[in-house]
Amino acid sequence: MTELVLSRPVKGRSLWIDAWRRLTANRAAVVSVVYLLLMGVACLVGPLLTGHHYTTIYTDYVRVPPSLTAYPKPDQISGMLDELIRRMRVDLVAWNDQDDRISLTIRSSRPIDPRVVRYFDRSSSFADPKVETTSPDGLTLTLSTAVAKHYFLFGTDNTGRDLLTRTLIAGRVSLAIGLLAGLTAVVIGVIYGATAGYLGGRIDDIMMRIVDVLYSLPFIFLVIMLVVFFGRNFVLMFIAVGAVQWLDMARIVRGQALSIRRQEYVQAALALGVSPLGILWRHVVPNTLGPVAVYMTLLVPQVILLESFLSYLGLGVQEPLTSWGVLIAQGAKNIPSATWLLIFPSIFLTSTLFALNFLGDGLRDALDPKDR
Please give the residue ranges that form the binding site for another protein (CB under 8 A): 1-8, 10-16, 18, 21-22, 25, 263-265, 267-276, 278, 282-283, 286-287, 289, 372
- Nearer of residues 1 and 228 to another protein, judged by Cβ: 1
Task: Compute the least distance from the CB of residue 231 to another protein, in Å.
Answer: 43
Closest approach of another protein to the CB of residue 250, in Å: 21
Q: How far, in Å, CA of 22 to CA of 55, rounded?
A: 44
Q: Is 218 exposed, middle or buried (0-12, 13-18, 19+ CB in 10 A)?
A: exposed
CB count in 10 Å sphere of residue 73: 11
Nearer to another protein, 287 or 302 (CB): 287
DSSP codes of every residue in 203-216: HHHHHHHHHHHHHH
Nearer to another protein by C-beta: 191 or 343?
A: 191
Cis check for the bond before 72: say yes or no (omega within 30 of 0): yes
Q: How far is the CB of 288 from another protein (least distance, A)?
A: 10
188 membership: H or E segment, kind and range: helix 163-199
Residue 285 Cβ vs another protein, minimum distance, rounded to whole Å:
10
- Min CB(265)–another protein separation in Å: 4
Complex with another protein: residue 6 or 68, whichever CB lies closer: 6
Phi–psi pair at 317, nearest 5 degrees? -70, 160
CB of 199 to another protein, least distance (A): 12
* 147 contact partners, CB below 8 Å, separation of at least 6: 72, 77, 100, 101, 102, 125, 126, 127
Distance in Å, CB of 188 to another protein, minimum: 22
Q: In angstroms, rounded to a whole number, what is the distance separating the alpha carbons of residues 168 and 33?
A: 18
Q: Please, which residue, 4 or 228, has the CB nearer to another protein? A: 4
Residue with Cβ nearer another protein (52 or 283): 283
| Cβ-contact 304, 354 below 8 angstroms | no
Please state, in angstroms and rounded to a whole number, the distance separating the CA atoms of residues 361 and 358.
5
User: How large is the C-alpha radius of gyration of the chain?
Assistant: 30
Closest to another protein by CB, 159 or 263? 263
